[in-house]
């Protein structure tokens, strides 16, 4: 890949700088890695960074292809439903429009953001950053675009949408003839390309090409008997008055008194905090709100079905029962786990993490750190039922024959998913380690 004029090509894997773990705040030295190697924090086992070869070229190629497929996936229908010669087709945007027309605008907005806006921003953001680099120029406002890309990667849920489409198609197959269209295959390919682009995109390589390695001074080495030890006053970034940027990973220089609570990353412009402000208070607020909405989300009807044979109201659990009795037990188990078990387990897990941090417990910090990473990983999959509802309400519109509309539980359930994701994002995992004695080094 070409490098911008005046910007040297640097292999950060060979730098000997000091970095801070973004999950436990432990200061550690960077180490040289083999190709595709991963450096893990020696204390909490979080991945610190990876070494890729040619990653930016691959990420650019995947993202350009993803943008082309994104256009195809939204121009053509996803699937059609044929009943007595009547064919109803819908695009993803058409599903959003049906929900908005039916007064379910919060649900329509949620689906639009997570399946249309964020995936488009993810692919476009990578192209915006990497195409100028490929041409030997600096991307315009790289700091702002990088921060936007970080948000888009957290909220884009194309992979959950594909699974939701699969569940919806199984349900629709019992109603009428299902006709898969071009957009369905385009969305599947889009999901794979976005995942490949996200895996290939290396922020460290990007910033190395833009600005060189992070400008963090090495700790001075002072003699202590026959050994040499770093002159840092503490073993964590917070103990030294420093912050690690959660977006780009840059370790800030020491922060002084009045400016410690109002400082931005010198590289990407993200706001820096020694610890997330009011982390536990905000986590508990989001968590309690999610818990309040969890009951109506599971007890109220999530869908209303009207047909020649009468009206029917379905809850999330009744949908699971329907899949089970119709012979689709693997999907029934999947929907039960994603839509009923996972939200409750997330609430319990985050409550456990926040409560243990409130009490200052020192019990099993490594296991608690793993619980936190698991909660972040599975959080988005609870959106599965929301996407199923969106497809069903858009396709089953046969007027007097059959009509499906979203019920009030759909909005409550969507709110539960978003609130638990906000709760996980608000929790600062470094609080798990603040009562522990840090250790030296890193392991790969």
Q: Where are the domains of the chain?
A: 1-52+208-275, 55-201+276-427
pLDDT of residue 49: 80
According to the model, what pLDDT value does residue 120 have? 95
Nearest Cα neighbor of 422 from 163, 160, 154, 157 is 154
Residues 6+ apart with CB under 8 A from 179: 79, 80, 81, 82, 87, 89
Residue 255: predicted pLDDT:
65
Both tokens assigned to 171: 């349900």
DSSP for 329-386 reads: HHHHHHHHIIIIIHHHHHHHHHHHHHHHHHHT--S-HHHHHHHHHHHHHHGGGGGHHH
Q: Is 207 exposed, middle or buried (0-12, 13-18, 19+ CB in 10 A)?
A: buried
- pLDDT value at position 397? 66
- Report the distance separating Cα 444 and Cα 121, nearest Å: 33
pLDDT at res. 14: 35
C-alpha dist (Å) from residue 141 to 82, 223, 247: 49, 44, 15
pLDDT at 202: 87
Tokens of 127: 């192209």
Alpha-carbon separation of residue 230 from 29, 49, 243, 254 (angstroms): 11, 22, 18, 16
Q: What angle do CA 143, 149, 154 make, to 5 degrees?
A: 135
Distance of CA 290 to the CA centre of its chain: 19
pLDDT at position 68 is: 95
Kindly report each contact of residues 124-128 with a partner whose C-beta sits within 8 Å and lies 24 or more positions away, as own/partner.
124/63, 124/67, 125/149, 125/152, 126/59, 126/60, 126/63, 126/197, 126/201, 127/60, 127/63, 127/64, 127/67
Which residue in 196, 77, 42, 59 sits closest to 124, CA to CA? 59
At 138, list the tokens: 């600096």
Residue 298 Rama label (left phi>0; alpha psi -120 to 50; beta):
alpha
pLDDT of residue 225: 36
Rounded to whole angstroms, the Cα distance separating 79 from 181 reads 5
For residue 55 the two structure tokens come to: 């990653």
- As a whole number of angstroms, the distance between CA 208 and CA 220 comes to 24
Calpha distance 244→271 (Å, rounded): 10
pLDDT score, position 65: 96
Residues 421, 290: Cα–Cα separation, whole Å:
10
Tens place of pLDDT for every residue, the chain, 444 residues? 343 333 333 333 333 477 888 888 888 887 777 877 888 888 888 888 887 777 888 999 999 999 999 999 999 988 887 776 677 788 888 889 888 988 889 999 999 999 999 999 999 999 999 999 889 888 999 989 999 999 999 899 999 999 888 888 887 777 777 788 888 899 999 999 999 999 889 888 888 888 755 444 443 333 333 333 344 555 778 777 788 888 888 887 766 554 455 678 888 888 888 888 889 999 999 999 999 999 999 888 888 776 555 567 778 888 788 778 877 788 788 888 888 888 899 999 999 999 988 888 888 888 888 999 888 888 888 888 888 888 888 877 655 556 778 888 889 999 999 999 999 999 989 888 887 544 444 444
């Amino acid at each position: 890949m070409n490098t911008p004029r005046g910007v040297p090509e640097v292999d950060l894997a060979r730098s000997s700088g000091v970095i801070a773990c973004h999950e436990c705040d432990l200061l550690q030295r960077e180490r040289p890695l083999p190709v595709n190697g991963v450096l893990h924090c020696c204390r909490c086992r979080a991945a610190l960074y990876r070494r890729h070869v040619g990653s930016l070229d691959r990420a650019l190629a995947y993202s350009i292809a993803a943008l082309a497929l994104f256009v195809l996936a939204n121009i053509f229908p996803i699937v059609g439903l044929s009943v007595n010669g009547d064919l109803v087709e819908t695009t993803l945007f058409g599903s959003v429009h049906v929900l908005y027309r039916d007064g379910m605008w919060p649900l329509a907005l949620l689906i639009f953001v997570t399946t249309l806006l964020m995936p488009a921003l993810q692919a476009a953001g990578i192209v915006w950053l990497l195409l100028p680099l490929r041409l030997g120029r600096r991307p315009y406002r790289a700091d702002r675009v990088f921060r936007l890309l970080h948000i888009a990667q957290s909220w884009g849920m194309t992979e959950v949408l594909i699974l939701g489409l699969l569940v919806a198609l199984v349900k629709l197959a019992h109603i009428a003839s299902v006709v898969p269209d071009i957009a369905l295959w385009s969305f599947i390919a889009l999901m794979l390309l976005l995942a490949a682009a996200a895996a290939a995109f290396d922020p460290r390589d990007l910033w190395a090409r833009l600005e060189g390695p992070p400008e963090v001074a090495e700790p001075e080495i002072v003699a202590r008997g026959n050994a040499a030890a770093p002159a840092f006053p503490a073993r964590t970034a917070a103990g030294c008055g420093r912050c690690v940027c959660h977006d780009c990973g840059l370790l800030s220089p020491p922060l002084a008194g009045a400016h410690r609570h109002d400082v931005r990353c010198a590289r990407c412009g993200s706001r820096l905090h020694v610890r997330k402000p009011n982390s536990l208070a905000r986590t508990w607020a989001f968590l309690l709100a999610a818990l309040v909405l969890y009951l109506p989300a599971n007890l109220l009807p999530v869908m209303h079905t009207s047909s020649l044979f009468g009206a029917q109201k379905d809850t999330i659990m009744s949908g699971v029962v329907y899949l089970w009795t119709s012979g689709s037990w693997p999907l029934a188990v999947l929907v039960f786990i994603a839509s009923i078990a996972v939200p409750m387990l997330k609430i319990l897990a985050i409550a456990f993490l926040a409560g243990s941090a409130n009490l200052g417990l020192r019990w099993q910090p490594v296991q608690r750190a793993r619980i936190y990473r698991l909660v972040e990983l599975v959080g988005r999959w609870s959106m599965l039922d929301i996407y199923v509802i969106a497809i069903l309400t858009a396709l089953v519109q046969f007027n007097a024959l059959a009509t499906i509309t979203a019920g009030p539980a759909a909005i409550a359930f969507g709110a539960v998913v978003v609130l638990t994701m906000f709760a996980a994002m608000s929790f600062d995992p470094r609080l798990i380690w603040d009562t522990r004695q840090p250790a030296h080094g890193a392991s790969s």
